[in-house]
Structure 1
C-alpha cells in the first residue's frame, strides 16, 4: 500500500476497505457502461425522454465512481478501473445486446441498478462494522444516487 491520507483506521482496515471499494468501483463502472449500451440502442415509444435521462444518470454514475476511486487512493490503495478488472470483478452479467425496445431496456437497466444498490448496502454494513465510517458514508451517498436513478429509470416502464 502507498501512503495513506486518512488517519484513525488501522492498516488492516484500510486494506480491507480498498478491496471493498475496488469491488464496488468495478460494479459502478460496469453499470455506467450498461447505461451507455442502453442509451445508444434503445428505440420506441418514450425514446427521447429515456435517452436524455440516461445522459444525466451516466454523469452521476461517473461522479460516483470517481469519488470511490479517490477514496481508494486516500486509503493508500490503487484504484483498479481497467476494463479487464471490471469484467472480472463486477457482479453484473453481460448486458443483453438483443434488446431494442425502450421498455425492455428500462426493465433491464432498472434491475441492474437494484442489484448494485443491494451490493452497496452490504458495503455500507461492512465498512461500518470495520470502523470506517467515512467509507460507509461514501457508500451511503452513492446508494442514494443509485436508488434515485433506479426510480427515475424505472418510472418509464409501462404499467402492468
Structure 2
C-alpha cells in the first residue's frame, strides 16, 4: 500500500476506512503520540529504578518496579496500535520518546528505595494527569474509543500512584 500524501505537522496517514474524520484522527493521533512518548519514557524510568534500587526494601521494590514496567509496556502497545488503527504511524523510538516525553529527567543519583519511589511517584503524577486530560480531549474530538482506552490507563495509573505514595507515608508524614 502506498502512503497518502496527506501529512499533519508530524504524522503520516495511510488510507483507512475508519469512519472518523481526518481532523479528528489528526487531533487524536497528536494526543496518542504524546502518550506513546511519555509511556515509553515512564517505562525506562521504572526500569532505571528496578535495576538500581538499594536498601532494606530492595526485594519488595525491585519486584514492584518490574511489575509497574510490565503494565506500562502493555499500555505502550495499546497506544501504538491505536495510532496505527487510526491510519497513522506509531513513532516509538527511544529518540522520539526522549524528545517528546512530558516527564522530567530521572534522577540518576537515586539509590535508596525512598528516592526511587519519590521519583516514580512524581513521574506517575505527571503521567496520570496527562492521561486524564486525554480522556476529555479525545472524547471532545469525537473518538470515544480512544477516550475509553485512556480511561483504562487512568484507572491503573491512579492505583499505581497510590501504591507508590503509600511507601512515602510514615508516622510523621502527611500529604
Give me the TM-score of the superposition, normalised by structure 1.
0.95
Structure 1 residues 113-148: Cα deviation after superposition (integer angstroms, max 9, x where no partner): 011000111111110111110111111111111111
Which residue is 2:78 aligned to?
67
Distance in 2, matches of 1:5 and 1:35, equals 38
1:6–1:154 distance in 2 versus 1, CA, 3 Å: farther
Which residue is 1:3 aligned to?
15
More displaced 10-residue stretch of structure 1: 66-75 or 39-48: 39-48
Secondary structure of the 1:92 match is coil
Which residue is 2:132 aligned to?
121
Higher relative contact order (CA 8 A, sep 6+): 1
Distance in 2, matches of 1:5 and 1:148, equals 36
CA contact (8 A) 1:53 1:153 kept: no
Q: Which of residues 121, 136, 143 is equivalent to 2:147?
A: 136
Distance in 2, matches of 1:33 and 1:114, equals 16
RMSD in angstroms over aligned alpha carbons?
1.1
- Structure 2 residues without counterparts, runs of 5 or longer: 1-12
Give me the TM-score of the superposition, normalised by structure 2.
0.87
1:44–1:158 distance in 2 versus 1, CA, 3 Å: farther
Shift of residue 156 of structure 1?
Answer: 2.1
Secondary structure of the 2:162 match is helix
Q: Which has the higher helix share?
A: 1
Which residue is 2:118 aligned to?
107
1:89 aligns with 2:88: no
Count of residue pairs brought into register by the alignment: 159
CA contact (8 A) 1:30 1:87 kept: yes
Secondary structure of the 2:167 match is coil
